[in-house]
Amino acid sequence: MAHCIVPEAEAILDREFPVLDKGFVRLVDYLGGDRRVVQAARVSYGEGTKTYREDAGLIDYLLRNRHTSPFEQVALTFHIKLPIFVARQWIRHRTARLNEISGRYSVMNDDFYIPAAEDVALQSADNKQGRSGAVDPEEAETIRGGFAAGQKRAYGDYRELVDRGLARELARINLPLSLYTEWYWQIDLHNLFHFLELRLDSHAQKEIRLYAGVLFDIAKKIAPCCCASFEEHALKGVRFSGAEFAELRRRLRAAGAGTAGTDRGGDFPPELTDKALARFEEKITTGRQT
Query: What is the count of structural domains for the chain?
Result: 3
In the chain, which stretches have pLDDT less than 70? 1-6, 44-49, 256-290
The verdict on 61 and 194 lying in the same domain is yes
pLDDT of residue 48: 55
Which structural domain range is residue 250 located in?
242-286
Q: Read off the pTM.
A: 0.84
Report if residue 186 sits inside a domain: yes
The verdict on 70 and 187 lying in the same domain is yes
Report if residue 187 sits inside a domain: yes
pLDDT tens for residues 106-159?
999 999 999 999 999 999 888 888 888 889 999 999 999 999 999 999 999 999
The verdict on 67 and 204 lying in the same domain is yes
Check which CATH number belongs to the domain holding 42 and give it: 3.30.1360.170
Report if residue 123 sits inside a domain: yes
Residue 40 CB partners (closer than 8 Å, separation 6+)? 69, 70, 73
Domain-terminating residue out of 194, 212, 235: 235
Active-site annotation holder among 66, 159, 199, 251: 199
The verdict on 162 and 130 lying in the same domain is yes
**3-class DSSP state for residue 43?**
coil
The verdict on 133 and 230 lying in the same domain is no
The verdict on 31 and 98 lying in the same domain is yes
pLDDT of residue 6: 67
The verdict on 73 and 88 lying in the same domain is yes
The verdict on 98 and 132 lying in the same domain is no
The verdict on 256 and 230 lying in the same domain is no
pLDDT of residue 265: 46
pLDDT of residue 47: 56
pLDDT of residue 125: 85
pLDDT of residue 2: 37
The verdict on 57 and 34 lying in the same domain is yes
pLDDT of residue 281: 59
Sheet with 23-31: strands ordered across: 16-19, 23-31, 75-83, 180-188, 97-100
Report if residue 228 sits inside a domain: yes
> Is 164 known to be catalytic?
no
The verdict on 161 and 255 lying in the same domain is no
Domain-terminating residue out of 128, 143, 174: 174
**3-class DSSP state for residue 123?**
strand
Nearest CA to 171 out of 161, 156, 181, 160 is that of 161
The verdict on 99 and 226 lying in the same domain is yes
Report if residue 2 sits inside a domain: no
**3-class DSSP state for residue 13?**
coil
Report if residue 1 sits inside a domain: no
pLDDT of residue 254: 78
